[in-house]
Amino acid sequence: MAFLSAGCDTANDDDIFGEFRADVTVDGARENAQDDDNETEEGRLKGEAVYTVVETEHGQEFVLGLFVGDLFDSQYDEYQFISFRRKGGVPGVGAYAVEEDPQRSGVTASYANVLDADESDLSLAEDERARGPLLYGVDGTLVITEVDPVGVVSGSFRFDARGIQVQNTSRFVDGTADGEFVARYERPSLLLGRGLNL
């Protein structure tokens, strides 16, 4: 169930149109951008914010992708993004629960920061193999503060997450993500054509 929320001016600033800013931690340590240029002066991650609506076998699904750097920096073997998915079309203004297994009104969330994702050969040197965290949201909220009919969705989020470091899949790690976004619409083929599991 969506609840109306008080407006959040932070995410509506013109200086982040089509962009996001976020703090992400994994096991208590702040996550850095793969490229230092993609951090703000406060050390927050920043990048491109886009959304789309895809048709699935179960109907429409809203997909929000927050890509550190820009959408094209995240492809196949190196990627850093936060993503949200929700059944149905573009959600209205309100607060939506982040859940591991959402029902009709919940949202799934994830965070990934992986280098050399296509390299799993154990004969490679450790720094040449796939490495980085993959986490999924277990609790939290995605807040939509504005839906503009010209193709802009604004809001904020905060979620707790759990997952693994891909170089050691036997050990679980915990994390948090907290940020704001002003996302612009993109066609599904462009957003989903990066070869990523959003």
- Dump pLDDT digits (tens) for 2-42: 333 333 444 444 466 789 999 999 999 999 988 877 878 78
SS3 118: coil
pLDDT in tens, 44-86: 999 999 999 999 888 899 999 999 988 777 776 788 999 999 9
Return mean pLDDT, the chain.
Answer: 84
Is the per-residue pLDDT at 181 higher than 60?
yes
Beta bridge partners of 162: 136, 174
Q: Residue 1 — pLDDT band, cuts 50, 70, 90? A: very low
Quote the pTM value.
Answer: 0.85
State the alpha helices, DSSP H only, in the chain.
188-192
Confidence of residue 148 (pLDDT cuts 50, 70, 90): very high
In this predicted structure, the answer to whether residue 130 has a pLDDT above a threshold of 50 is yes
Kindly state the average pLDDT of the residues 93-103. 87
Task: Report percent pLDDT > 70 for the chain.
Answer: 83
Which of these ranges, 3-12, 24-33, 100-109, 179-188, has the smallest mean pLDDT? 3-12
* Residue 96: pLDDT over 60: yes
104 exposure class (CB count in 10 Å sphere: 0-12, 13-18, 19+): exposed
pLDDT (0 to 100) of residue 124: 52
For 172, the enclosing helix (H) or strand (E) is strand 168-185
Per-residue confidence (pLDDT) for residue 116, from 0 to 100: 74
Which is it for the CA torsion 58, 157, 20, 46, positive or negative?
negative
In angstroms, the CA 157 to CA 143 distance is 6
Residue whose tokens read 């891909």: 166
Per-residue pLDDT, 11: 44
Alpha carbons 186 and 188: distance in angstroms, whole number: 6
